[in-house]
Amino acid sequence: MSAIIEARRLSRWYGQVTGILDLDLDIGPGVTGLLGPNGAGKSTLLSLITGQLPPSTGSLRVLGEHPWNNPRLMARIGYCSEIDAFYEEMNPVRFLSLLQRLAGVGRRAARLSAERALEIVEISHARDRKLGGFSKGMRQRVKLAQALVNDPDLLVLDEPLNGMDPVARAATVRLVRDLGRSGKHVLVSSHVLHEIEAMTTQVLLVHQGRILAEGDIREIRSLLRDHPHRVEIECSDPRGLAARLLAADHVLSMSLDGEAGKTGSLTITSRRPEELFEVVSRLVLEEKVEVRRLVSADDNLQAVFRYLVR
């Protein structure tokens, strides 16, 4: 099938700083993961694809058109940025309706599409609350709804799982997979390998503004056998959570910071982080374990990039 995104010798720099350098790529239909450490050039590439920046040199076509200064194409793209910019006094229905109204949609149709988008991301229960009172994870879901509200042909998601609790992360991963199966084209970025692996098998590895590798993520995973992954979890009872996870064969080590029965953090080194996240999600759902923050260190991803650079 023809490429959804095509770039030829694409570069973008900021003065003396290079964001993207001499890229050639073809991104096909379905869900594709854009994987790389922070500062690799992922956000620059996504900004070019979504028409926020013009190329410094080279060419770029998205859905067959040049994205820069192309309102017609922008109407076919949904974008979830890494940062948010809300009207804090608005509720999510009013905010999403406003975006649709600015795009020329009628009042009733705008409200219906806003409500439908909130249902898709599973936050209809908070439809009347002010955005200023939303948690980081809830704000992430509103950004997802913002990307979906116009029923786009292409979804561009920049670190969509950042700040979400395990339950919301699992729901968002399912949503991205379902969108791909329904025929939507999705480009999703992350600096965490297992996040991308949970959503798709097709990946692009970006490092220092260049594409290092592309293809099936199972080939990337094969490079990680000797590189354990570290996960930090902040919860109300880290010792209790540690006791529940201690018997798992994929857990290599643990360290605790906090007193028994009090809020603290637990750092776990696992050889199979995807299994660790499944266990934590199950404990949150079934045993009501309160997890307040979950951070994936990217040590193993950095190891892959060091290997590829060599």
Asked if pLDDT for residue 107 goes beyond 70, the answer is yes
Say which residue, 242 or 51, is predicted with more confidence: 51
Say which residue, 290 or 12, is predicted with more confidence: 12
- The torsion defined by the Cα of 276, 203, 70 and 81, in degrees rounded to 10, comes to 20
Q: Taking residues 247-273, what's their average pLDDT?
A: 80
Match domain 5-221 to its CATH number in 3.10.20.90, 3.30.1540.10, 3.40.50.300, 3.40.710.10. 3.40.50.300
Say if residues 206 and 40 touch (Cβ distance below 8 Å).
yes
Mean per-residue pLDDT of the chain: 87
Q: Which pLDDT belongs to residue 109?
A: 97
Write out the residue limits of the CATH 3.40.50.300 domain(s) in the chain. Answer: 5-221
Q: Which pLDDT belongs to residue 304?
A: 62
Asked if pLDDT for residue 154 goes beyond 90, the answer is yes
Asked if pLDDT for residue 61 goes beyond 90, the answer is yes
CATH dotted code for 225-309 = 3.30.70.3100
- Which of 27-41, 59-73, 171-185, 209-223 has the least mean pLDDT? 209-223
Asked if pLDDT for residue 295 goes beyond 80, the answer is no
- The torsion defined by the Cα of 159, 161, 162 and 164, in degrees rounded to 10, comes to 160
Residue appearing with tokens 């309102």: 71
**pTM for the whole structure:** 0.74
Say if residues 241 and 289 touch (Cβ distance below 8 Å).
yes
Write out the residue limits of the CATH 3.30.70.3100 domain(s) in the chain. Answer: 225-309
Q: Checking DSSP bridges between strand 31-35 and strand 185-190, what pairing results, if any? A: parallel
Q: Taking residues 111-135, what's their average pLDDT?
A: 94
Return the closest-CA partner of residue 248 out of 266, 269, 227, 233: 269
Q: From CA 47, how far away is CA 20, in angstroms rounded?
A: 11
What would the DSSP string read from start to end of 66-116? --TT-HHHHTTEEEE-SS----TTS-HHHHHHHHHHHTT--HHHHHHHHHH
Q: Copy the structure tokens of residue 92.
A: 């999510």
Q: Taking residues 46-55, what's their average pLDDT?
A: 96
User: What three-state secondary structure class fits 7?
Assistant: strand
Query: What confidence tier does 308 reach under pLDDT thresholds 50, 70, 90?
Result: low
Q: Which pLDDT belongs to residue 281?
A: 82
